[in-house]
Amino acid sequence: MANGKVYLKPNVVAEPLINRWYAWSSLVAPATAAMFVANSHLKIMRSFVAAPQVHVNALKSPAMRGGPFINYDASKAPDIKQLIESTLREQAPLLELAKAIQGVNDMVAAEADGSSLEPLYAKTPEPLRGYVEYVYDLDSKAGVRFIEGLLYKSEYYMESSQSVALSLCEGDDRPFALSTPQLPRAGRLEVRLPFRSEALDLLFKAKTEPQPLGLVAEALGLGGEEADLLPTFFTEREPRAGRRYDGAGVRVRYFGHACVLIETRDVSVLLDPLVSYETGGEGIPRYTYGDLPDRIDYVLITHNHQDHCMFETLLQLRHKIEHVVVPKNNGGGLADPSLKLVLQNSGFKRVSELDEMETLPVEGGEIMGLPFLGEHADLNIRTKLAHLVRLQGRTILCAADSNNLEPRLYQHIHRLIGDIDLLFLGMECDGGPLSWLYGPLLTKPIGRKHDQSRRLNGSNYDRGAEMVNLLNPRQVYVYAMGQEPWLTFLTSIQYTEESRPIVDSNRLVEECRGRGKSSERLYGRKEISL
């Protein structure tokens, strides 16, 4: 193996980390990263150090898996304390930025009375001087716009905190990732490179194209014990590799959760990439990285949540992606960072934005961005799109986590697009409260009653059935339910047969079948030919 070419093993987990925390878009964007470090990471770590047994006991209950609890035993308290100290030292610019963000929001709330906002610039806390604009809406409600592009060119974008941790998996079970920093452990190799590094493309290309092991080690900057550990992640065995679809018509493959691959012999479109590793044939049937084509023409991202814009998958596919298409951003809101900037600064070279009702021509058809409501707890989030993919006269709508709050929206849409062939609809109709995802970004406390009423939820039965009535699809598939075992480390979802999303989606599937439509709640994998 030392001198020959080798392949990256298909069960190598590659976790992107930022300051040892599992990376997602809000930890990349500087302003949101600052708020998560200050208001989430440090708070969780300090709580663990103060009372580690509380965390241990909490996680004995499956219902607490997605809560703010660190998944280590009490013996790790000294290591977490050390991480707190290094965070305070190395992330000091972000902590100052978080303090400044709180400061400008307090200042705007106290001083913006409808008069000119010009005096506020001189009072802006130093870390944000030159990085914000103060604005009114037409109702004279004041706000702050962050100049995101400039923040990425400042000391607040800390590429030195980025790394990718390699380990081997033997199954799907992984601890919930968002509340526990990843400490070093035996057998894990941490590659300390920024996400934009082309060396990562060389590493992940080795999944299907063999590479000299020495070249990989040199590109990753590994030496000593790290270089000695690297061969454990490689093999001389040629992997199973997918081929580009060359059949007639349109082939649709469901890869789990919201990940759907749509192909003709001319074009491939992958939505919300989240792909399982190969786990030795155990577990439920699934498609894996080996079932993807060697080139993906378009990757479409529906919205900015961890389970739809998944860095762990995206970084491993970057070398084979031609274009990434993301929803158009609203421009500088703290809760809605630009996904285009996040991906561009993470090494994706061809990223474009698509707005609501805009179309992107592709070979043999087009991609249209459609609005969807819900899933974002009533926050002003523009970085969200459903996607209508038209290929060879067939129409597939991936509606993601759309909550059909206003049926007239789909009445208007149907008037423009007509009946469709295939509807993918998310029905996680409970959802977490606002604070579960956006709590660290809140600059004012929110009461429990309001927090619980504002959910990150999709459609229930009534709203899903109304969408089916309005769009008249020939086939209806419920997806994006967070059920697959290779996803629960991000969603923490554990349904029972009595869970409302299961009851409601079962009811919708029954209703659709009773009306002569092909329908099921997807789980694991599915192939559909059109």
Domain boundaries of the chain, sorted by first residue = 5-91+158-235, 92-151, 251-529
**Beta-carbon count within 10 A of 421 CB:** 17
**Token couple for 266:** 């001319």
Output the CA–CA distances (angstroms, integers) from residue 65 to 57, 62, 125, 179, in the order listed: 11, 5, 38, 9
Residue among 158, 165, 157 at smallest CA distance from 191? 165
* Beta-strand relationship, 5-8 and 234-235: antiparallel
In this prediction, residue 282 carries a pLDDT of 67
Amino acid at 114: G
In this prediction, residue 3 carries a pLDDT of 56
* Rounded Cα–Cα distance for residues 156 and 283 (Å): 42
Strands, sheet with 211-212, edge to edge from the N-terminal-most edge strand = 211-212, 5-8, 234-235
In this prediction, residue 1 carries a pLDDT of 52
Amino acid at 183: L
Residue 529 forms beta bridges with which residues?
A: 251
* Rounded Cα–Cα distance for residues 453 and 433 (Å): 7
* Rounded Cα–Cα distance for residues 200 and 205 (Å): 8
Rg (CA), the chain: 23
Q: Assign 261 to helix, strand or coil.
A: strand
Q: Assign 207 to helix, strand or coil.
A: coil
**Token couple for 427:** 């029905």
In this prediction, residue 492 carries a pLDDT of 85
**Token couple for 317:** 């596919």
Q: What share of the chain is helix, strand, coil (3-state, %, to 5)?
A: 35, 20, 45
* Rounded Cα–Cα distance for residues 415 and 432 (Å): 33
User: CATH fold of 251-529, please?
Assistant: Metallo-beta-lactamase; Chain A (3.60.15)
In this prediction, residue 320 carries a pLDDT of 96
Supply the angle between the helices 461-471 and 500-514 in degrees, to the nearest 10: 30
Q: Assign 493 to helix, strand or coil.
A: coil
327, burial (CB in 10 Å: exposed 0-12, middle 13-18, buried 19+): buried
Contact 329, 340 (CB under 8 A): yes
Output the CA–CA distances (angstroms, integers) from residue 39 to 32, 95, 439, in the order listed: 10, 9, 8
Contact 405, 467 (CB under 8 A): no
DSSP states along 345-405: TTT---EEEE-TT-EEEETTEEEEEE----SSTT-----B-EEEEEETTEEEEE-TT---S
**Token couple for 279:** 């786990």
Q: Model pTM?
A: 0.96
User: pLDDT tens track of the chain, all 530 residues?
Assistant: 545 899 999 999 999 999 999 999 999 999 999 999 999 999 999 999 999 999 999 999 988 888 999 999 999 999 999 999 999 999 999 999 999 999 999 999 999 999 999 999 999 999 999 999 999 999 999 999 999 999 999 999 999 999 999 999 988 989 999 999 999 999 999 999 999 999 999 999 999 999 999 999 999 999 999 999 999 999 999 998 888 999 999 999 999 999 999 999 999 999 999 999 998 766 899 999 999 999 999 999 999 999 999 999 999 999 999 999 999 997 889 999 999 999 999 999 999 999 999 999 999 999 999 999 999 999 999 999 999 999 999 999 999 999 999 999 999 999 999 999 999 999 999 999 999 999 999 999 999 999 999 999 999 999 999 999 999 999 999 999 999 999 989 988 889 999 999 999 999 999 999 999 999 999 999 999 99
Extended strands (E) in 272-376: 296-300, 321-327, 351-354, 359-362, 365-370
Residue among 485, 433, 431 at smallest CA distance from 454? 433
Q: Assign 250 to helix, strand or coil.
A: coil
